[in-house]
Amino acid sequence: MPPEIGLEGWRALVTGAGQGVGRAIALTLADAGAEVAVNDVVELRADEVRDEIRGRGGRAESAPFDVTDWDSVQAGVDRLGDVGILINNAGNAGVDGFSALRPFVETDPAEWDRYIRVNLYGVMNCTRAALPSMISRNGGRIITVVSDAARYGDAFLAPYAAAKAGASGFCRSIAREVGRYNITVNCVALGTIRTPTTSRPDADSPENVEREKQQLKKYIIRRKGEPEDVAGLVGFLAGPSASWITGQTYPVNGGYSFAL
């Protein structure tokens, strides 16, 4: 029998929850009893997921702010009050999307900043803002969504991989600092997940069909992941059964790469 998540009495902030993986995580935590603050840089998306949770009988509020803007993050978390669970999910390259894939030597330093701002500084900003209330209540969960691009070292994604690897290292350091307050800090590293940001408008073209076929050959389970494949593990790590798990990175990747 799977362990009960049991998050009644907890407020969870899920960043980038207006679509894709973040939406699935927000729904899972709400179904487990948490009151969910749905963050997204696009307010309409946050409102839609908030309403979806309420329509399922859950408790949710919209928390639109830009995770890369410290003042906005601090104000948003202050409005929420006691955040006991933080899911650092906002990632990729923000609303701008990814740059064209090409060797690092061909990139321009001006392109690197947006990857660092969203995937590293966004995690640092939200963690810094949420930690005081967790320390005060002597308990909390921080779960950060990172990428196998960092664990494996995907070519042509060096700035993104660097930012995600930085977030993983940051979380390990924070885990050591806050364990004495019964706060656990873990990461979930993703392979390719089927989301609006990874679905191309020309996906049915012969060129892209062939590209996806070659990509999926790298996966033992030969399909893209679904947001729900991620949400279950995040829900477990947020729950009471994971109270002695911290400082770890768990891949959810269909076997793209292994972890010891």
How many of the other CB atoms lie within 10 Å of CB of 66?
20
| Residues catalogued as catalytic | 160
Which sequence spans correspond to the domains of the chain? 11-193+226-251
Q: And the tokens for 253?
A: 């990747």
Residues composing the chain:
260
Helices (H), 138-226: 148, 158-178, 206-216
CA distances from 138 to 83, 134, 180, 184, 246 (A): 12, 6, 8, 11, 15
Q: And the tokens for 27?
A: 């729904």
Q: Give pLDDT tens digits along the chain (260 positions).
A: 345 678 999 999 999 999 999 999 999 999 999 999 999 999 999 999 999 999 999 999 999 999 999 999 999 999 999 999 999 999 976 556 667 778 999 999 988 998 999 999 999 999 999 999 999 999 999 999 999 998 888 889 999 999 999 999 999 999 999 999 999 999 999 999 987 765 555 555 676 667 777 878 888 998 989 999 999 999 999 999 999 999 999 999 998 888 87
Return the C-alpha torsion angle 103, 109, 115, 119, nearest 10.
110
The residues, any chain, with a CB within 8 Å of residue 16's CB and separated by 6 or more, are 22, 39, 40, 41, 67, 89, 90, 91
CATH architecture assigned to 11-193+226-251: 3-Layer(aba) Sandwich (3.40)
Burial class (CB in 10 A: 0-12, 13-18, 19+), 205: exposed
Which phi and psi (to 5°) does residue 188 adopt?
-125, 120
Q: Report the chain's terminal Cα–Cα distance, integer Å.
A: 25
pLDDT score of 39: 98
- Host H or E run for residue 14: strand 11-14
Q: And the tokens for 166?
A: 């930085």
